[in-house]
Amino acid sequence: MLLKELTELNGVSGNEDEVRNYIKEKALSLADEVKIDSIGNVIAYKKGKSSKKRVMLSAHMDEVGFMITGYGEGGTLKFRCVGGIDERILPGKRLIVGEKKLPGIIGCKPIHMQEREDRSNNIKLKSLYIDIGAEKKDEAEKLVPLGEYAVFQSEYMEMGEDVIKAKALDDRVGCAILLEALKGDYDFDLYACFTVQEEVGLRGSEVSSYAVKPDLAIVVEGTTCSDVPEVSEYDYSTLLGEGAALTIMDRTSYADKDLVNFLYNLGKEKGIKVQFKKTTTGGNDAGKIQRSRGGVKVASVSVPCRYIHSPVSVMSKRDYESVKALVLTALEEFNKNKQDLF
C-alpha cells in the first residue's frame, strides 16, 4: 500500500533523501517532467491541453525528528528536536539513528533516583539522552557523527475497521494524494510539489512557489485532531471520521474565501464528507505560497490526525479517501474552466 510505504520511510526535515528518491521514482512514470530543485523539492510537472493556467498542489515530504548535538561520557547521545514535538512523550521512545539505522532508546534518570519535586514535573529535554548501547564516548562518536539525524521507529498498523496508526502521517498522506493526482489528465498545467523543511519554517514551499508561479494552489496536509477524552467539544480542532478538513485561517495563512467555499460546496454536492478546522493554531506551506510573488489564491485540505508529531499518529481511512476524492474532484472541476476561481 502506498501510504504504508511512505510512512515507513525516514525523512526528518533537512534529510528527506529516502522520501525524495521514492517519490521521484513513482512520479517519473506519471509526469511529463520531474525536477529536483536546489533545496531538494520534487516538482512533478504535467502539461495541460491548453496550458492557460497553472495549478499547484503542495505536500511536504519531511517529518519531525531529532538531531545529534553531543555525547555523554557513558556513550549516550545528546540531541535536540527538529520540528515541534511534545517533550512529554519522549522518555522510552524507540528511535532509528543515522544512516547506519542504529536502534536507539530515549532515556532519562530512573524515577527512583529523582528528587521528590522532580517526580511531579515533566522531564525536560536537556535531561534526556539517546542510548544506542555504546559503552564509551569515543565509541558513540565513531558510530554517530555530530549533526546526524534520528527518527521515531514506528510501523504502519491498521486498527479496527477504519483506523491507521503510523508515524509521519503529517504529511505522507498529502504525498500519497499528490501521486494519485498525477494520474489524471488536465486542461491546465499541473505542478505537484513535494516540498522539504516544512516542519522547520515552510522553507521548501517558498522556493517552489516562486519557481512554479501558480495561479491557484491547494495544500494537501495532515492536521490536528483533538476529539479525545477530557477535551471539551468546543475545543475540538477536527473530528475523526467526519471527512476532509478545510482551513479558514491559521497562524501562517488566511485561505482564499472563494476557493474554500467552492471546495466545501463541491464536497456537499458530490457527497464527499467535509468539515471545517475549528482552530487557528499551527500552519503549513500555504503560508509561504500565499505570499509568493504578487500573491496566490490558496486553500488547505487536510486529513485529521490524532497524536500528530508522534510515533503513533492515528487517522481514519474514510477521511483520507474524502480528502483524495475532494482534491481529485476539484481538479476535474477546474478542467471546466472555473475562471472565477483563478
pLDDT tens for 217-240 read: 999 999 999 888 888 887 889 999
Same domain, 54 and 178: yes
The per-residue pLDDT for 313 is: 97
158 in any annotated domain: no
pLDDT at 339 > cutoff 90? no
Q: Is 294 helix (H, G, I), strand (E, B) or coil?
A: coil
219 in any annotated domain: yes
The per-residue pLDDT for 52 is: 86
Same domain, 39 and 145: no
Residues linked to residue 102 through DSSP beta bridges, in sequence order: 97
Same domain, 320 and 214: yes
Same domain, 121 and 202: no
The per-residue pLDDT for 251 is: 92
Q: Domain containing 114 — which CATH number?
A: 2.40.30.40
160 in any annotated domain: no
pLDDT at 282 > cutoff 90? no
Same domain, 218 and 144: no
Distances (CA, A) of 231 to 121, 225, 269, 307: 22, 11, 32, 13
The alpha carbon torsion through 288, 292, 295, 298 (nearest 10 deg) reads -40
277 in any annotated domain: yes
Same domain, 174 and 245: yes
Between CA 290 and CA 277 the distance in angstroms is: 19
Same domain, 197 and 301: yes
50 confidence band (pLDDT: 50, 70, 90): confident
The per-residue pLDDT for 111 is: 56
212 in any annotated domain: yes
Please identify, among 120, 152, 184, the residue that sits at the C-terminal boundary of a domain: 152
How many domains is the chain built from? 2
pLDDT at 54 > cutoff 90? yes
Same domain, 191 and 123: no
Which one of 198, 199, 221, 242 is the catalytic residue?
198
Percentage of residues of the chain with pLDDT beyond 70: 95
Burial class (CB in 10 A: 0-12, 13-18, 19+), 266: middle
The per-residue pLDDT for 110 is: 62
What's the mean pLDDT in 116-120? Answer: 60
Same domain, 244 and 190: yes
Its domain, for residue 111, covers 65-152
8 in any annotated domain: yes
Same domain, 22 and 171: yes
Same domain, 124 and 254: no
Write out the DSSP string of 51-70: --SEEEEEEE--B-EEEEEE
Please identify, among 118, 152, 186, the residue that sits at the C-terminal boundary of a domain: 152
246 confidence band (pLDDT: 50, 70, 90): very high
131 in any annotated domain: yes
Q: Domain containing 324 — which CATH number?
A: 3.40.630.10
121 confidence band (pLDDT: 50, 70, 90): low
Which of these, 287, 281, 216, 217, lies nearest to 254 by C-alpha position?
A: 287
Please identify, among 152, 183, 203, the residue that sits at the C-terminal boundary of a domain: 152
196 confidence band (pLDDT: 50, 70, 90): very high
- Going by C-beta distance under 8 Å and a sequence separation of 6 or more, which residues neighbour residue 191? 43, 44, 45, 46, 54, 55, 56, 57, 212, 214
73 noted as active-site residue: no
159 in any annotated domain: no
The per-residue pLDDT for 114 is: 58
Residues 255 and 249: beta-carbon distance below 8 Å: yes
Same domain, 126 and 74: yes
Whole-number average pLDDT of the chain = 94
Burial class (CB in 10 A: 0-12, 13-18, 19+), 117: exposed
